[in-house]
Amino acid sequence: MSFATILGVIIGFGLFVSAVVLKTDNILVFLDGPSFIMVAGGTFAAAFVSFEARYVVQAFRGLLSILFTTEVTRAILTNEVGRVIRWGYIIQKNGLPGLETDAGKVRRHDRFLGFGVDLVTSGYTGQEVREIMANTIESNYGRNTVQADILRNMGSTAPAFGMIGTLVGLIIMLDNMGEDPAMLGPGMAVALVTTLYGVLLSRLVLLPAASKVQQREEIVRFRNYLLAEGLALLAERKSPRYIQDRMNSYLDPSVHFNIDKMKRRPG
């Protein structure tokens, strides 16, 4: 679980609830089922009108996925460098058949890396590997960031439906005002709750989720470019130390891989 995300949601809604509790004893005025249905239902309906249904479903999955920890950490990037360097030694010793044998398990768990290994073992040049992998990376990035675009669109739509709900509430309130003018205040309060729901849904849920989905896809994209460069260097038969220095140039100096420490490991 992504505790930072969960903590952020709890703090965000917690501060709002705390402010309400401190300012009024009538907290139930902030709870209105029809208002929530109008905002959430209208926002989701507009998303299905604007985008293909399968992409909207993927966006909902992306909304839930932010609650889970991203798989690409700084330590993982360092380990990816170490794996490519190890493959460099294997190619020096056993050639491309050795790489194909060692990478067998990787193919089953990481399709992107497996595809890159297949390019190397097929005999493509380093530049060809770079070009094919770059096309793959950008295509995947474009497809996966559609989720963020949809969530961002929903985030901009939610306040509009909040305003629509408020207008509907005001129309109903004014229509009934002649019967009991004393209901003007409570009716206005209920009408404004819909706008509040729209803003909260947008600013505390949809837009932050879109930003996190976008950021995670950018991290995956960076990781894939790092691997693509390493695989291209393998295709060019570069030395393990050159591979280390070239791949380390992508990383923060604090997480650089050290080939000398790898040599000193027991076993």
In this prediction the pTM is 0.87
Among the listed residues 12, 16, 43, the one whose alpha carbon sits nearest the alpha carbon of residue 165: 43
With beta carbons less than 8 A apart as the criterion, state whether 226 and 250 touch.
yes
d(C-alpha 147, C-alpha 145), whole Å: 5
Among the listed residues 121, 112, 169, the one whose alpha carbon sits nearest the alpha carbon of residue 143: 112
184-225 residue pLDDT tens: 666 677 778 999 999 999 999 999 999 999 999 999 999 999
Say whether 258 sits in a helix, a strand or coil. coil
d(C-alpha 228, C-alpha 245), whole Å: 15
Residue 92, amino acid = Q
Average pLDDT over residues 229-234: 98
Q: How confident is the model at residue 29 (pLDDT cuts 50, 70, 90)?
A: confident
Please give the pLDDT value at position 174.
79
d(C-alpha 120, C-alpha 131), whole Å: 13
Please give the pLDDT value at position 218.
96
Residue 43, amino acid = T
Report DSSP state, residue 203. Answer: I
Average pLDDT over residues 244-256: 96
Among the listed residues 170, 121, 151, the one whose alpha carbon sits nearest the alpha carbon of residue 57: 151
d(C-alpha 91, C-alpha 257), whole Å: 19
Average pLDDT over residues 93-116: 91
With beta carbons less than 8 A apart as the criterion, state whether 165 and 71 touch.
no
Report DSSP state, residue 253. Answer: G
d(C-alpha 198, C-alpha 36), whole Å: 8
Separation in Å, CA 19 to CA 14, 33, 124, 185: 9, 21, 62, 21
Arithmetic mean of pLDDT over the chain: 91
Q: How many residues does the chain have?
A: 267
Residues 6+ apart with CB under 8 A from 147: 55, 58, 59, 61, 62, 213
Please give the pLDDT value at position 81.
96
Percent of the chain surpassing pLDDT 70 = 94
d(C-alpha 48, C-alpha 27), whole Å: 33
CA angle 101, 107, 112 (to 5 degrees): 130
Average pLDDT over residues 18-37: 88
Residue 265 in this model has a pLDDT that exceeds 90: no
Residues 6+ apart with CB under 8 A from 200: 13, 16
Count of CB atoms situated within 10 Å of the CB of 58: 18
Residue keyed to tokens 């404004």: 192
Among the listed residues 97, 112, 74, the one whose alpha carbon sits nearest the alpha carbon of residue 252: 74
Residue 262 in this model has a pLDDT that exceeds 90: no
Please give the pLDDT value at position 267.
43
